[in-house]
Amino acid sequence: MEKVFYMDNAAATRLDEKVLEAMRPFYFESYSVATSEFGYSLGLEAREAMEDARGRLARYLGADMDEFIFTSGSAESSNLAVKGVAKALGSKKGRHIIVSKIEDFPVLYSARTLEKEGFKVDYLEVDEFGFVNIDNLEKLITAETILVSIQHGNQEIGTIQDIKRIGALCYKKGVLFHTDATHTFTRVPLDVREMNVDLISVSAHTIHGPKGIGGLYIRKKTPIAKLMDGGFQEFDLRAGMDNIPGAVGFAKAVELVTDEENTRLAAMRNKIIEEVFEKIPDVILNGDAVKRIPQNANITFHYVEGESITLHLDMYGIAVSTGSACFSRSLEASHVIAGIGGDHERAHGSIRFTLGRFNTMDEVTFVVENLAKIVENLRKISPLGKG
């Protein structure tokens, strides 16, 4: 294969060389664990680097540095946010939580686990573009509600929720608000004071940072119980050896994202959408055209299977994802496409494009040209009609 490139979720998981350079000293020089500082000074440099990384990540969200903890990734962060608040408040304030129907799995399945343990969970509907209705959310909040968890940007269709209005509502109602910002962090502005968010899940692997490191913003005085027992790391909210290179790499990854880059990603995304709509009939854009994360396009091609498209693009060295089966490896259709009212066919005919720093406009042109040919050919032999 001459050329291979990723335009699926993997696009953003290629480590940036500059991130590795920033991590190197903490692999080979200041690798002492921060927990050993007691009694000698040699671990201080490593601890200082870790706290510097923490401070930079916190400030990026408009938070103080004692409001940000490191985790193994946003899946752990979301588990801790949802279950940790439930554990802290479940026997005190109430046992009701609200999540959107199209949350990513860590939030969705944490909520389901709580449901099995006797919590009441409301799964808030979304409209055809993926937006929650804030009036409906307000109606669901009761005196028993302890947490609202609504994502910032959707993992499949890229829809950006109005976090500021949701935050204001939760603040008014005295309910904690968690948002999963895995797919928006550094790509879409998010400020914890301005937007009244109490908990935010973020990850490094979505922005060319290292895998195995993420974070959780936790507003001061938020009631939350730890889930992982052991040492007293991360303000006693987590156990496990401090991942100093990971923390430093995460902060570096954030530093490397620029407004120009986000503008460039949005331009490539727009190009994909515009060209597909121009060249290929019978397509639907999944998600909103405007309030959408810059790195995501999600398009349904009627009368063809998304997996046939991915297999054919694969032959050109292009990796994209379908709207189904990406996590479970079952043939279950996407709960997100179902959530916005799409049927089985729409889910299975959808293709998700995710762009990263290393994608180019030339790649976009190459993808769209081949896509047009592939879809045309597949439709000729399609058993789904329009053959």
CA dihedral 369, 371, 373, 376 (to 10 degrees): -140
Instruction: Give me the sheet containing 296-301, strands edge to edge.
Output: 283-285, 296-301, 350-354, 321-322
Contacting its own copies within 241-280 (CB under 8 A): 241-246
> Taking Cα atoms as reference points, which of 25, 68, 288, 11 lies closest to residue 200?
68
310 touches its own copies (CB under 8 A):
yes
Nearer to its own copies, 81 or 192 (CB): 81
202 touches its own copies (CB under 8 A):
no
Bridge partner residues of 214 (DSSP)? 71, 203
Please indicate whether residue 326 is annotated as part of the active site: yes
Contacting its own copies within 42-81 (CB under 8 A): 42-43, 72-76, 78-79
Contacting its own copies within 84-113 (CB under 8 A): 104-106, 109-110, 112-113
- CB count within 10 Å of CB 216 equals 26
Stretch that binds its own copies, among 121-129, 144-152, 233-241, 279-287 (CB under 8 A): 233-241
Task: For strands 296-301 and 199-203, give the pairing.
Answer: unpaired
What are the DSSP calls for 223-246, one per residue? ----SS-SS-HHHHTB-S---HHH
Within 8 A by CB and 6+ apart from 284, the residues are 299, 300, 302, 346
CA dihedral 199, 101, 103, 295 (to 10 degrees): -120
Total chain residues near its own copies (CB under 8 A): 73
227 touches its own copies (CB under 8 A):
yes
**Element housing 123 (H / E):** strand 120-124
370 touches its own copies (CB under 8 A):
no
Could you tell me the smallest distance in angstroms from the CB atom of residue 27 to its own copies? Answer: 4
Stretch that binds its own copies, among 254-262, 267-275, 317-325, 374-382 (CB under 8 A): 317-325
> Taking Cα atoms as reference points, which of 269, 384, 364 lies closest to residue 318?
364
Catalytic residue, candidates 227, 326, 338, 372? 326
Contacting its own copies within 130-159 (CB under 8 A): none
DSSP label at 211?
T
Binding residue for its own copies (CB under 8 A) from 149, 154, 184, 203? 203
Nearer to its own copies, 246 or 342 (CB): 246
Could you tell me the smallest distance in angstroms from the CB atom of residue 339 to its own copies? Answer: 17
Six token digits for residue 239: 């156990």
Nearer to its own copies, 35 or 377 (CB): 35
Binding residue for its own copies (CB under 8 A) from 174, 189, 230, 387? 230
Nearer to its own copies, 6 or 68 (CB): 6
33 touches its own copies (CB under 8 A):
yes
Residues with catalytic function: 326
